A and B are shown apart, each in its own frame.
Chain A
Amino acid sequence: MYIWKCWRDTRGAFISTCVILFAVVAFHAAVTLDYASWAPARGPSALLWRATAAAIGELVRALVMLTGFAFGACGLGEEFHRGTVPFLLARPRSRGYFVWTGWAMGAAQLALLVPLGYLVSAQFGTRWLQRDAVWQAATSAVPLKWPEAEAWKMILAIYIMALVFYSLTYFTTLLMRGARNGMNTAVLVVCAYFGIAVLLYGVWQKELPVVWRMLGELSRPPFAFPTASAAGWLAVALAFPVLSHWIFRRAEV
């Protein structure tokens, strides 16, 4: 029943995210695959139009990241802010059950959202525009041919990236006992980490692992899946619900 409750809690966010993401990827597919036939893409504005397409591609990536933040903020920690924790904890279930079920629901929604976004993009290109699908959504400049067997690599990499942000926000929302503070903390952590990474590279040429670098690796020849990097980030993503469990087991209400 808690699964149903988690779905009921998040279905609004899930459906709206789907609508926004699908609209953006469809638009992106249209612009990328068929830009020459669009009126604004002809003549002197063509360059601007292609630049717009590339910017929308970046937007898709940002959107997936934001989806991770948003889904994480809908997690268990928000129960504290709502004041519903005593009602929840009066159920004859372990605290771990609530932590892992809530986390799994968000992870499953992301697992559905990312491939669906890809399919919408690809289907839009092949069926509606009648073009050879070249999928570029959420990737950098070099497009991937579709339907090639490599498509799953990009889907998996995007999913792991989204999962890292989702799990981090799920944890911080629980830690800060509320969605707003949780999301702010997660954004702060990501910004601080990125800032440190930039600083380290700028001053000492040392590279910190950054999650979206996986996508860059995939977009460059030889298009190899960065297995070690993905495994590392997956471990990071899974560490956050473990930490959440640890925090929630000790929480008093």
Chain B
Amino acid sequence: MSEWAIQTESLTKHYQQVRAVDGLNLRVPRGAVYGFLGRNGAGKTTTIKLLLGFARSHAGTARVLGMDVSTQLREILARTAFVGENKTLYEHFTPAEHVKFHRGFYPQWSDAAAANYARDLEIPMGQKFKSLSKGNRTKVWLLLALAQNAELMILDEPTTALDPLTADIFLRSLAEDHAGEGRTIFFSSHHLAEVEQIADWVGIIDRGKLLLEARLEDIRNNFRLIVATGNGLPLERQTPVVSALSAANLCRYVVERDADAWQSRLRAQGATILESMPLSLKDVFLELVRKEEPCISGNAGATLAAPSLARA
């Protein structure tokens, strides 16, 4: 059995000139709660479409639960729960009818779990879907995915339109009922707080490329922002440097580990270290997806400063 619940190799998908997914190498360990982060249009939904066979890749491979998406899709889908980006279901069905339709496809379906989630999430099971609020529509999707008892859950922005209380109930259900039982949860989100609440792995995608894939614990403990000044400082993105930006003679680096060693190396090249500080997930996300390109941003004086320097 593969140690990866999801594994992609150079996965590529383009729409005309736009590379929606560009050589993606994703590794989602079995049993992980994996938060897939990215801006709007970063490639999150396209990646999910490729993983579930909704779209075909132009290059590369994708394996889910150890099986090839292009040849074993039905086996994959039998063991995978899915919540879509647009929370659209059948308008003329009630939630109870959605359950009736959905359960027949999945042998692991639990009626007891469905009843519990319907109660906990306060879903009006007898009301037509078209008359439900946005939040309740999302809840119906979540109910269907949760009660499926799937080995892998692929959730595309699952908390869209949920109020904070319901989002919390849902996230706790995910963490306790599913992640606790060794199932894999792969979810995309814009909400860094909820990723920090339940994820143990994080992937950050931008413009179709995976910028970072790391344990959340490693980010909290080891990631550092280093701001240095000097001439001819290195700008290559190579281990341990995750991101390097430069303007004039001011450089800022995000390093994933060995921050002290990296600072020593910079000093050896004549740099002065202005600041070295730990980063939150939000800081890392912003550092990685900020729009300035290395070496070409002429206005980087303010934004290139470390958060504390910028505030000063």
Give chain A's interface residues, CB within 8 Å of chain B: 1-2, 4-5, 8-9, 82-87, 89-94, 252-253
Contact A8 B93 (CB under 8 A): yes
Tell me the bound Cα distance from A82 to B129 in angstroms.
Answer: 13
Partner of A8, one of B54, B89, B97: B97
Contact A84 B90 (CB under 8 A): yes
Whether, in the assembled complex, B265 has its beta carbon less than 8 Å from a beta carbon of chain A, the answer is no
Whether, in the assembled complex, B75 has its beta carbon less than 8 Å from a beta carbon of chain A, the answer is yes
Partner of A90, one of B52, B55, B75: B52
Contact A1 B54 (CB under 8 A): no
Give chain B's interface residues, CB within 8 Å of chain A: 49, 52-56, 74-78, 80, 82, 84, 86, 88-93, 97, 100-106
Contact B101 A94 (CB under 8 A): no
Contact B53 A89 (CB under 8 A): yes
Contact A253 B89 (CB under 8 A): no
Known contacts A82-B90, A86-B84, A1 near B104 by CB under 8 Å: yes
Tell me the bound Cα distance from A90 to B154 in angstroms.
Answer: 10
Q: What chain B residues lie within 8 Å of A82 (beta carbons)?
A: 88, 90-91
Tell me the bound Cα distance from A253 to B84 in angstroms.
Answer: 12
Partner of B54, one of A2, A84, A86, A92: A86
Tell me the bound Cα distance from A89 to B53 in angstroms.
Answer: 8
Contact B77 A91 (CB under 8 A): yes
Q: What chain A residues lie within 8 Å of B101 (beta carbons)?
A: 1-2, 4-5, 8
Q: What chain A residues lie within 8 Å of B106 (beta carbons)?
A: 92
Tell me the bound Cα distance from A5 to B89 in angstroms.
Answer: 12
Q: What chain B residues lie within 8 Å of A5 (beta carbons)?
A: 90, 101
Q: What chain B residues lie within 8 Å of A91 (beta carbons)?
A: 77, 105
The main secondary structure of chain B at its interface with chain A is loop
Tell me the bound Cα distance from A90 to B74 in angstroms.
Answer: 9
Q: What chain B residues lie within 8 Å of A1 (beta carbons)?
A: 100-105
Q: What chain B residues lie within 8 Å of A84 (beta carbons)?
A: 88-90
Tell me the bound Cα distance from A93 to B54 in angstroms.
Answer: 13
Q: What chain A residues lie within 8 Å of B78 (beta carbons)?
A: 92
Contact B86 A83 (CB under 8 A): yes
Contact B105 A92 (CB under 8 A): yes
Contact B55 A253 (CB under 8 A): yes
- Min CB distance, A191 to chain B, in Å? 31
- Min CB distance, A96 to chain B, in Å? 11
Residue contacts A-B, CB under 8 angstroms, 16 given: A1-B100, A1-B102, A1-B104, A4-B100, A8-B92, A82-B88, A82-B90, A85-B54, A86-B84, A86-B86, A87-B84, A87-B89, A90-B82, A90-B84, A252-B56, A253-B55
Q: What chain B residues lie within 8 Å of A253 (beta carbons)?
A: 49, 54-55
Tell me the bound Cα distance from A5 to B52 in angstroms.
Answer: 22
Q: What chain A residues lie within 8 Å of B105 (beta carbons)?
A: 1, 91-93
Given A1-B105, A82-B90, A86-B52: 14 more A-B contacts, CB < 8 Å: A4-B100, A5-B101, A8-B97, A84-B88, A86-B49, A89-B52, A90-B52, A90-B82, A91-B77, A91-B105, A92-B77, A253-B49, A253-B54, A253-B55
Q: What chain B residues lie within 8 Å of A8 (beta carbons)?
A: 92-93, 97, 101
Q: Please, which residue of chain A has its CB at the minimum distance from the CB of B53?
A: A89
Tell me the bound Cα distance from A82 to B84 in angstroms.
Answer: 14
Closest 8 CB pairs of A and B: A1-B104, A92-B78, A92-B77, A83-B88, A90-B82, A252-B55, A86-B84, A253-B54
Tell me the bound Cα distance from A94 to B105 in angstroms.
Answer: 12
- Min CB distance, B56 to chain A, in Å? 7
Q: What chain B residues lie within 8 Å of A252 (beta carbons)?
A: 49, 54-56
Tell me the bound Cα distance from A41 to B104 in angstroms.
Answer: 57
Contact B90 A92 (CB under 8 A): no
Tell me the bound Cα distance from A25 to B289 in angstroms.
Answer: 68
Tell me the bound Cα distance from A1 to B75 in angstroms.
Answer: 18
Partner of B74, one of A4, A87, A93: A93
